[in-house]
Amino acid sequence: MDTAPQPAPPATREACVAADAADPLRRFRDDFLLPDGVIYLDGNSLGARPRTSPGVAARVIEQEWGTGLIRSWNTAGWFELPGRLGDKLATLIGAGPGEVVVTDTTSLNLFKSLAAALRIQQAQDPARKVIVTERDNFPTDIYMAEGIADFLGRGYTVRLIDEGQPLEAALGGDVAVVALSHVNYRTGAMWDMASTTSLVHDAGALVVWDLAHAAGAVPVDLRAAGADFAVGCTYKYLNGGPGSPAFIWVNARHQDRFWQPLSGWWGHARPFAMEDSYEPVAGIGRFLCGTQPVVSMALVECGLDVSLAADMGAVREKSLALTDLFISLVQARRGSHPLELVTPLDRARRGSHVSYAHPDGYAIMQALISRGVIGDYREPQVLRFGVTPLYLGYADVWDAVDALFDILDNRLWDAPQFRERLQVT
């Protein structure tokens, strides 16, 4: 529990404007391009566009690809991109140089991490065949665990922790690896990484942390926690662009202990020797698989550079101040609306978004989006509001909550066009 006394959130719109004027992170807003009339509360799903992205895309496409052609693998640093960007990202998650690569998707990186963890356990304690994760985890994390257990067969299974069940209850001598999201995608609830990692280690298991909703949003210190593996997205709080490649971190103590099974030529010790057998390169490079999406990957640097220029402690403080403000404003106006806060009030357990359950959540979110207040909806019934301190301010939160209650108080959501389900919510 965070026991430091907290300043009360601003109580009027004027006080919000004043808080914005005094905000040391305010200048970072100009590093992003957001359309007029939009309050963007979905940076936890797809981050906003850095100002520098079009220039970098043009450089890569026109000069590096257009003029450099294949020479650019050597002359424009294309081949080094996964490791070079990984080293930059490492500083945001408490990792060291040579411990992170930017590559593939979070789903694929989960597969590699889980496979690696199972392989380590197979060598030292082969009775451990259970992958533990949460029923409430992001679906792909569960699905990938199921996929690898099914592929391995021979008694490998997935055990899901139910809501309210302590992690300890799921740990035992049969558990090989525990895969947890540091910040839950739906509720915003956050695990204490250091104590949870210790708990898992004491039970003889390894831990994979999914940092999808944590990297760039909350301070993360993987090395201090002594964690084993971590994966995460660059298109959420790191603003890398739609579908930008993910990242994977492997504690240096594990890197050379096994091959990960997606043993493509980019992870080979000598990819251009064109040998007839796989030999993994030493270090994190063996977590690469095939040729990288260079244009998309190059854009990752634009978002990373903004995050690296900001102080993570200040980002965290502002994130908490903004989520406090959101929660207090909703509480004050909630009345008899069936809005239920599903995000922890305890600051130490809260990530960087606020979620509310409401039986008509889907239509309410569509009504909000129609007036430029963009959050998202997650089954079941959850309205989700992402807080990104680099480009959101106090007055934005004020105005978003104001729009929410205009829609609720006047039942403006209750219209056929807001009930139509879109493919992506």
Ligand X SMILES: *Cc1c(COP(=O)(O)O)cnc(C)c1O
Site of interaction with ligand X (CB under 6 A)? 105-107, 138, 140-141, 181, 185, 210, 212-213, 233, 246
Q: How far apart are CA 392 and CA 26, in angstroms?
A: 8
25 or 217, CB closer to ligand X?
A: 217
Closest approach of ligand X to the CB of residue 108, in Å: 7
Q: Can 28 be counted among the known catalytic residues?
A: no
Q: How far apart are CA 178 and CA 218, in angstroms?
A: 21
Asked whether residue 196 is marked as a ligand-binding residue, the answer is no
Identity (one letter) of the amino acid at 279?
E
- Spell out the residues 6+ positions from residue 417 whose beta carbon is closer than 8 angstroms to its own: 366, 370
112 or 129, CB closer to ligand X?
A: 112
DSSP string for 350-405: B-SEEEEE-TTHHHHHHHHHHTTEE-EEETTTEEEEE--TTT--HHHHHHHHHHHH
Asked whether residue 65 is marked as a ligand-binding residue, the answer is no
Q: Can 421 be counted among the known catalytic residues?
A: no
- Spell out the residues 6+ positions from residue 77 whose beta carbon is closer than 8 angstroms to its own: 84
28 sits in the region (left: phi over 0; alpha: psi -120 to 50; else beta) called alpha
Asked whether residue 42 is marked as a ligand-binding residue, the answer is no
Asked whether residue 254 is marked as a ligand-binding residue, the answer is no
Q: How far apart are CA 313 and CA 376, in angstroms?
A: 27
Q: Can 112 be counted among the known catalytic residues?
A: no
Q: Can 210 be counted among the known catalytic residues?
A: yes
Asked whether residue 140 is marked as a ligand-binding residue, the answer is yes
Q: How far apart are CA 186 and CA 386, in angstroms?
A: 10
Identity (one letter) of the amino acid at 181?
S
Closest approach of ligand X to the CB of residue 365, in Å: 18
Closest approach of ligand X to the CB of residue 232, in Å: 8
246 or 395, CB closer to ligand X?
A: 246
Closest approach of ligand X to the CB of residue 143, in Å: 10
178 or 367, CB closer to ligand X?
A: 178
Q: Can 138 be counted among the known catalytic residues?
A: yes
Closest approach of ligand X to the CB of residue 421, in Å: 20
CA dihedral over 166, 169, 170, 171, signed as positive or negative: positive
Q: How far apart are CA 288 and CA 101, in angstroms?
A: 8
Q: Which of 235, 237, 391, 418 is catalytic?
A: 235
Asked whether residue 235 is marked as a ligand-binding residue, the answer is yes
Q: Which of 384, 391, 394, 396 is catalytic?
A: 384
Q: Which of 236, 318, 347, 378 is catalytic?
A: 236
16 or 102, CB closer to ligand X?
A: 102
Q: Which of 31, 210, 324, 376 is catalytic?
A: 210
Known binding-site residues equal 106-107, 138-141, 210, 213, 235, 265, 291
Would you please indicate which residues are annotated as catalytic (active-site) residues? 138, 210, 235-236, 384
Known binding-site residues for pyridoxal 5'-phosphate equal 106-107, 138-141, 210, 213, 235, 265, 291
